[in-house]
Amino acid sequence: MERYYFLFFFALIWCIFASVNDIKKREIANWITYSFIIFALAYRAFYSVVEKDGGRFFLWGVGGFLIFLILAHLFYYSRAFAGGDAKLLMGFGVILPFEEFWDLLFLSAGFIFLLFFIGAIYSLFYSFFLVYKNWSKFNKSFSYYQRKYNKLLILVLILLLILLIIFLINGFAISDLVIPTILLFLLTTIFIYLKAVEKSCLIVLLNPRKLTEGDWLERDIRIKGRVIKKSVHGLSAEEIKILKRYGRNVWIKQGVPFAPAFLISILIFGISYLYSIGLNDLYSLISG
């Protein structure tokens, strides 16, 4: 299993590059994502040749890449990931320790679950930082969405009343309703909070000189008889040239820099994997 040590270390270093780039420039440069995939595949190919394993180590990497390629496109077209995040995810399909067919399914599912779990926690804490920087705008936005979703809050109260009646009819203790009540109010508050964060912190008006290829438009733009439509692919280089030519400021929907979630995830995954391998080796030594 030592052959995976290099891949984990390599992924860690490249994720540091990606995180710095993502935080500073709000994008992950193509040289980072493409070199990540190419170097990882090259290492697998070189190792297979040296070890004369019939190409198995290389082919498992190719299989992982293909699965993560499909997942990356799914997340990209659902707008869960930007282009850089999707390409970074493809590289993780190459470095994960696949040894058999079921690994392709279970390790892939496990890593994706870990990535989204870590990503949710990271994004929540990052949103606190955004709120702190944009407190005045956030406060106004949060109040606006509270008023806008008053009907939702009323619906929650009605649901709680119905639950209370059901509990009393069936002889349950009212204390059993505490956790469902907290969850309902918490989910409602989180929904309003996220809408307010998006509106006040993630939708920004940018000068065309600050635009980068792939930026997501908040709404379609009409300019000199032409319509630049918002798209899952974001702004193209040609569209940015047009906006610069006419000096048109545009509303852009920014995302949370997600590369640090990859960095934390590979740290946790790598440590867990190496720890489990260490326990297996110890067990083999004792039983042997």
* CATH 1.20.120 location in the chain: 3-114+259-287
Surface-to-core class of residue 67, CB atoms within 10 Å of its CB (0-12 exposed, 13-18 middle, 19+ buried):
buried
What pLDDT was estimated at residue 172?
67
Given a contact cutoff of 8 angstroms between Cβ atoms, the answer to whether 178 and 197 are in contact is no
Q: How far is CA 158 from CA 145, 153, 155, in A?
A: 20, 9, 5
What pLDDT was estimated at residue 109?
92
pLDDT digits (tens, 9 = 90+) for 193-220: 888 998 888 888 888 888 888 888 888 8
For 3-114+259-287, CATH number out of 1.20.1300, 1.20.120, 3.30.530, 2.60.40 equals 1.20.120
What pLDDT was estimated at residue 285?
40
Residue 229 structure tokens: 């439509």
**Amino acid occupying residue 278:** G
Q: How far is CA 152 from CA 68, 138, 139, 140, in A?
A: 38, 20, 19, 19
Nearest to 232 by CA among 84, 81, 112, 116: 81
pLDDT digits (tens, 9 = 90+) for 259-270: 999 999 999 998
> How distant is the alpha carbon of residue 225 from its chain centre?
37
Residue 235: phi and psi, rounded to 5, are -70, 140
Given a contact cutoff of 8 angstroms between Cβ atoms, the answer to whether 263 and 29 are in contact is no
Determine what percent of the chain is predicted with pLDDT higher than 70. 93
d(CA 249, CA 203): 13
By three-state DSSP, how is residue 179 classified?
Answer: helix
d(CA 269, CA 153): 40
Nearest to 8 by CA among 77, 90, 95, 78: 95
Taking 70 as the pLDDT cut, the residues of the chain under it are 1, 171-177, 277-288
What pLDDT was estimated at residue 283?
45
What pLDDT was estimated at residue 186?
81
Surface-to-core class of residue 124, CB atoms within 10 Å of its CB (0-12 exposed, 13-18 middle, 19+ buried):
middle
**Amino acid occupying residue 118:** I
> DSSP readout, 59-124?
HHHHHHHHHHHHHHHHHHHTTSS-HHHHHHHHHHHHHS---SHHHHHHHHHHHHHHHHHHHHHHHH
Length of the chain: 288
State the DSSP H helix or E strand holding residue 258, giving kind and residue range, or none if neither.
none
d(CA 184, CA 244): 47
Strand order across the 216-217 sheet: 203-206, 250-253, 216-217
d(CA 73, CA 231): 15
